[in-house]
Chains A and B, each alone.
Chain A
Amino acid sequence: MSNILVFAETRGASLRKIALKAVTAGRALADASGGGEVHAMVAGPSGVAAAAQQLGEYGADVVVVVEDAALVNFNREVVAATLAARAKAGSYRAVVIGFSAQGRDVGPRVAVKLDAPIVTDVTEIGAVTADSLTVTHPGYANKVIATLEAKGPLVVVSIRPSAITAQPAARTAKVETMAPAADPAASRIVVKEVTEGGKGTIDLGDAPVIVSGGRGLKAPENFKLVEDLAAAFGNAAVGATRAVTDDGWRPHSDQIGQTGRQVSPQLYIAVGISGAIQHLAGMRTSKTIVAINKDKDAPIFKVADYGIVGDALEIVPVLTKAVQEAKAGH
């Protein structure tokens, strides 16, 4: 039986979805080790303490609140120092974080501070004993699945957001407060600006439906067709290939693939995308794949559950209308 420390990620004073997924993973780890407690740490500006209730609903026994007006933006040095300090103070079996932009930054720092082994981008947690933890981690751009064993009494585990579904496990979390273990004003990395994506847009990592466009759309303005189709679904995000992010049609942050985002939605619609191996590396684990391409020999059709051969510029508007009608009919 051992306790698990979870980093509950926030943006501003609001919890991110990955925070609940990390708590779910922490809960599973605690249960696998014989039923210990899950302690979740949130750090942010005043108001962040309100997150405690939701963290409890998803299985946190204790919520450690680190509230400081200077923590408006993500402060990697303070978060890492405070997580490590807490991990040292308790006897934890693992520190669980998300393999997100924040988690990538925090994980290795915490591991060094604790001199603990670290495994990242974990898709499944396996056996846990007092000094061994087994996890699944895809490598080689998702082309090889490795089973890794981390030896040691304390391990840092970062989990792949798309591999875990947050699960309620109602508790009333006990709230503790903690001061930042490092001075936010002394941070060497100073956030100058945070630019938010468009209002109401769903992040690629969270979207159940992704509509992606490639060079087959012919011109940047034709991405409007893809955006309209995404809007028809209502719960969709827009992705892109490297060919179009390279040409500046779409921002790099929309890129899906080996060197872009790796996604696993319920439905992935590839429009005018050839299906290069590097693109497939980012989306081949999607549950259902639809491809629209004018070349019947395009490699994307090899992985598409449903392929339509033809001109995307003609097909997509018809599909958008049909999706709107299907949604309205429900």
Chain B
Amino acid sequence: MKIAVCIKRTPDSESRFKIGASSTSIDEAGLKFDIDDFASYAVEVALQINEKQGPGETIIYAVGPDSVQETLRKAMSMGADRGVQLKTDSVPHDGLAVAKALAAELKTGGYDLVLFGKHAFDTSSGIVGTAVAELLDFACVTAATKLDIANGRGTARRELEGAAETVEFALPAVVTIDEGIARPRYPSLKGIMAAKKKPLETKPAQLGEVRVTVKSMQLPPERAAGRIIGEGAAAVPELIRLLQTEAKVL
């Protein structure tokens, strides 16, 4: 199958963040970047489908400045066949503008399946994948926790609050990937060497008009420092007292 996976370059989620001098973005100094978590699951899902189903192609797309080339190489070192950078100076915080750039490129690709993360770590928006589906007029499953593809049809599971649904759909389709399907593999040394020779194409991104912008960024208020009230079961009465009189939640 011909599968496209769209990935974003985002900072390591374990990082401590500081707000940058402009106060409209984070300070990127010293941060490590990688494929955004959910999109890295999507890469793994694509590789597994093509490994299971025989001859296929996995193509990775990223919209962004030249730094995304490293991120595309990472996906290729996991086993993807080639990468495409849709070049912009910076990535706007406007999911629809990014989706338009991806859809313009994917439209003529003849893809059976286009995969995304459920949401990107930085924007935490959950817009791009579903918007691309709508722009391409593809069937779309948002936030799948299971995915099976067989005979040109897909079956997916989605978690609803307190329930779950199983849906069926015909290809071509867009699926955005939630957790639980696949844990991304680590690139092997052989994979890393091979990735250096795989094709990486750069094209200008046809971003849509940017209508959503960041006015300011702040760190959330710190929680008051934690307090240990006691040890073992003997501390339970004190906890009950605090929950009743101080926190007033009991």
Contact = CB atoms under 8 A, between A and B. Distances in A.
A319 interface: yes
B242 to A, nearest CB: 6
Interface stretch (A47-55, A174-182, A187-195, A216-224): A187-195
A104 B143 contact: yes
A139 to B, nearest CB: 5
A193 B212 contact: no
A318 B236 CA distance: 7
Given A194-B165, A308-B235, A311-B232, A138 B220 contact: yes
Contacts of B197: none
B62 to A, nearest CB: 19
Interface string B127-161: 11111011100011111010000000001001111
Interface stretch (B11-19, B76-84, B104-112): B11-19
A29 to B, nearest CB: 17
B134 A109 contact: yes
A149 interface: yes
A327 B229 CA distance: 22
B52 interface: no
A322 to B, nearest CB: 5
A203 interface: yes
A193 B166 contact: yes
Nearest to B158: A101
Interface stretch (B42-50, B65-73, B91-99, B198-206): B91-99
B139 A101 contact: no
Contact of B214 (A74, A146, A194): A146
B29 interface: no
Interface string A198-215: 000111111011000000
A308 B179 contact: no
Nearest to A197: B162
Interface in B1-28: 11, 13-14, 17, 19, 26
A288 B92 CA distance: 36
Interface centre among A107, A120, A140 (most CB of B within 10 A): A140
A139 B126 CA distance: 11
A303 interface: yes
B131 A111 contact: yes
Interface string A83-113: 0000000000000000111101101110111
B24 to A, nearest CB: 8
B93 A146 contact: yes
Contact of B224 (A147, A195, A305, A315): A305
A255 interface: yes
A141 B223 CA distance: 16
B53 interface: no
A111 B96 contact: yes
Q: How big is the A interface, by class? A: 35 or more
A170 interface: no
A37 interface: no
B191 to A, nearest CB: 24
A148 B213 contact: yes
Contact of B232 (A101, A137, A314, A327): A314
B237 interface: yes
Contacts, number: 280
Given A141-B124, A147-B214, A305-B227, A288 B161 contact: no
Interface residues of B, number: 83
Nearest to A262: B124
Contacts of B165: 73-74, 191, 193-195
B247 A288 contact: yes
B14 A151 contact: no
A151 B211 contact: yes
Given A194-B164, A197-B163, A121 B249 contact: no
A302 B226 contact: yes
Contacts of A284: 220, 223
Nearest to B16: A143
Given A119-B212, A146-B214, A319 B239 contact: yes
Given A117-B212, A139-B122, A112 B134 contact: yes
B250 interface: yes
A118 to B, nearest CB: 6
Interface of A: 11, 16, 73-74, 76, 80, 99-102, 104-105, 107-109, 111-113, 117-121, 134, 137-152, 188-197, 201-206, 208-209, 233, 242, 245, 252-253, 255, 258-260, 266-267, 277-278, 281, 284-285, 287-291, 296, 300-311, 314-315, 318-319, 322-323, 326-327
Given A117-B212, A253-B159, 17 more contacts: A101-B160, A102-B160, A112-B96, A147-B218, A149-B213, A151-B211, A191-B165, A195-B165, A277-B13, A284-B223, A289-B223, A305-B227, A305-B242, A306-B227, A308-B231, A309-B232, A322-B237
Interface of B: 11, 13-14, 17, 19, 26, 37-38, 93-96, 99, 118, 121-131, 133-135, 139-143, 145, 155, 158-170, 173, 179-180, 211-220, 223-233, 235-237, 239-240, 242-244, 247, 249-250
22 contacts: A74-B160, A107-B130, A108-B129, A109-B133, A109-B140, A111-B131, A112-B96, A117-B94, A118-B131, A121-B125, A137-B125, A139-B124, A140-B121, A145-B217, A145-B219, A189-B139, A192-B167, A196-B163, A290-B239, A304-B226, A305-B224, A309-B232
